[in-house]
Amino acid sequence: MRALLSFVYGLLAYLASTATLLYFIGFSGNLWVPRSVDVGPGAGWMQAVGTDVALLVLFGVQHSVMARRGFKRWWAQLVPAVIERSTFVVATCVVLVLMLRLWLPIDAPVVWRVEHESIAALLWGLFGLGWLVALVSTFLLNHFELFGLQQVFAGLTGRTAPQGEFRTPLFYRYVRHPLYAGFLLSFWSVPVMTLGRLLFALGFSAYILIGIAFEERDLLVQFGERHRAYRRQVGMLIPRGRAFRQAARQGRPPVAKT
């Protein structure tokens, strides 16, 4: 019964994260949803900036702290290992829902506006491409482990969840963090950049860079020299010419990350 409840909990967490992320895509691009980065209740300039910055900081703290190895060791004393990742997903959903609900548009002049239809269409294409790269990147490693489903399914079937392996499929041959690269591409590829949208993009860009620093420190502890060699040969977010040439010659990357 405990295993079944854990599985149901993990499945609901996965469905909630999917719905939240789909709304977040529309929110970030001012598309399809009733409230977004630039659409919502009016507020004073100072109130809007203060609220939005607080929401960005809350997301960054939650996401970074809960992903760290030290926190996970402490957290394991309170939350069963089988639902640890699902609980992380639920906490992320809660923080994102708060952002989607409480974010305040900033009433200020537009930073830039692309009027040329072809260039605007190109930017929207890059916006979609960024989210596609992010999605594919999760499946290249282990999408269901990342969102906690693999762990609860393993608990339900009495199997042991496999340990993370060091590998670099497809995008990971050229950049170490294609998931984050996809996010950055989508956050900045919009034809109309308002001040609120700029704050949103800057806030998440700062979080991504800080998060990468923490993540790579953990990967060095976990994989040691293998990840250190990977860092030397493959760019963090932008492909290096050397990585392209080496991958073309060898048909595979030198090392990988989980």
The whole-number pLDDT of residue 242 equals 58
pLDDT below 50 — which residues of the chain? 248, 251-258
Assigned token pair, 167: 């590998």
| Distance of alpha carbon 24 from alpha carbon 30, whole angstroms | 10
Using an 8 Å Cβ cutoff, are 177 and 134 in contact?
A: no
Give the helix/strand (H/E) hosting 80: none
Chain-centroid distance of CA 13 in Å reads: 16
List the beta bridge partners of residue 219. none
The whole-number pLDDT of residue 72 equals 82
Using an 8 Å Cβ cutoff, are 169 and 30 in contact?
A: no
pLDDT (tens digit per residue) in 86-103: 999 999 999 999 999 999
| Helix, strand, coil shares, percent, the chain, to 5 | 70, 5, 25
- Among 70, 73, 66, residue whose Cα is nearest residue 89: 66
257: three-class secondary structure by DSSP: strand
Taken as a whole, the chain contains a residue count of: 258
pLDDT (tens digit per residue) in 149-181: 999 999 998 887 677 677 788 899 999 999 999
Using an 8 Å Cβ cutoff, are 37 and 30 in contact?
A: yes
Using an 8 Å Cβ cutoff, are 173 and 247 in contact?
A: yes
- The count of other CB atoms within 10 Å of the CB of residue 177 is 22
Domain ranges for the chain, please list them: 2-250
Place of tokens 């960024």: 130
The whole-number pLDDT of residue 258 equals 34
| Distance of alpha carbon 208 from alpha carbon 181, whole angstroms | 9
The whole-number pLDDT of residue 169 equals 87
Using an 8 Å Cβ cutoff, are 82 and 155 in contact?
A: yes
User: Distance of CA 90 to CAs 50, 62, 96, 164, Å?
Assistant: 25, 11, 10, 22
pTM over 0.85? The answer is yes
| Distance of alpha carbon 40 from alpha carbon 142, whole angstroms | 36
Using an 8 Å Cβ cutoff, are 178 and 234 in contact?
A: no
Say how many CA atoms lie within 13 Å of 198 toward its Cβ: 13
